Structure 1
Amino acid sequence: MTIVVGYVNNPAGHAALDRGIVEAKKDDLSLVVVNASRSADRSDAYRLGEGEIKSVEDYLSRSGVQSQVLMRGSEYDPAEQILDAAAEVGAELIVLGTRKRTPVGKFLLGSTIQRVILEAVCPVLCVKSSH
């Protein structure tokens, strides 16, 4: 079975990745790290560059967990990309990092995490960063 981690290069993303590794090791599961963005090019600030991808892959390799990094980027909402990846791999768990947002910020920008929680067919674990 597989765990899907929604990852962006920020403290919340790092917390999700670390927790995903812990959960994968605990149950001997593989890990699929999804970098979902609104654009297939580098214009989206959440889209990982080649150096960042290599850094994540190296980190995962050192963890000893069987893993892969999926780069998504399309006209689809990031939540939909994470949900699609989870469906494709038959995810047992989705791990997401959270960050503090104002109520207005949530209203104006929507909430990827909220949509994943409401629409996922497997459990969703949300973790906070310590920063």
Structure 2
Amino acid sequence: MIVIGYTADRFGRAALEHGVAEARLRNTSVLVINSTAGDSYTDSTFASPDQLADVRTVLGEADVEFEVQQPVGVDAATELLKAMDRHDAELLVIGIKDRNPVGKLLLGSVSQQVLLESPKPVLAVKPAE
């Protein structure tokens, strides 16, 4: 199973595209996780119902088995790491943002935590220019 840390922006879209490609290459399923700490009204990366419908359409057209989870009131990194503890999880795919010189020293807190703590491989991708 490929775990995709999805955000409702171009970085999440890049993660979704690469995650689907990996799932097709490995002939496995996909688990998409789009979570929020609970402030979903101000969390621009928490997908709306229409955005989730679009994600499901992309996954359906890719002809891969999939599950979409949208937990509320949770820490995103913890949710992704918990998914990577599953016996069938092979790879975690996340989108990362470009950073200025200072920001390059520190990735986003979620990205940094999953890269450092994931027990299995993490693929960090950027959107096409």
TM norm. shorter chain > 0.5: yes
- Place the TM-score, normalised by the shorter chain, in its bin: 0.7 to 0.9
The one of 78, 101, 107 equivalent to 1:80 is 78
Alpha-carbon deviation of 1:84? 1.5
Alpha-carbon RMSD:
2.1
- For structure 1, which runs of at least 5 residues remain unmatched after alignment? none
Aligned to 2:60: 61
* 1:105 Cα deviation from its structure 2 partner: 8.9
1:71, 1:26 → 2: CA distance? 25
How far the C-alpha of 1:37 sits from its partner, in A, is: 1.6
Instruction: Give the drift of 1:5.
Output: 0.4
Structure number having the greater helix percentage: 1
Identity over aligned pairs, percent:
32
**Cα distance in 2 for residues equivalent to 1:13 and 1:124:** 15
- Secondary structure at the aligned position of 2:114 is classed as helix
Measure how far apart 1:42 and its partner are: 3.4
**Counterpart in the other structure of 1:120:** 118
- Residue in 2 that maps onto 1:34: 33
Q: Tell me the SS of whatever aligns to 1:59.
A: helix
Q: Which structure: greater strand fraction?
A: 1
User: In the alignment, residue 87 of structure 1 is paired with which amino acid?
Assistant: D
Residues 17-68 of structure 1 show CA distances to partners (whole Å, capped at 9, x for unaligned) of: 1110111011111000110222164332211111111111111101111111
Per mean C-alpha deviation after superposition, the further-off stretch among 9-18 and 82-91 is 82-91
Kept in 2, the 8 Å contact 1:42–1:48? The answer is no
1:123/1:9 Cα in 2 relative to 1: closer, same or farther (>3 Å)? Answer: same
Structure 2's unaligned 5+ residue stretches are none
| TM-score with structure 1 setting the length | 0.86
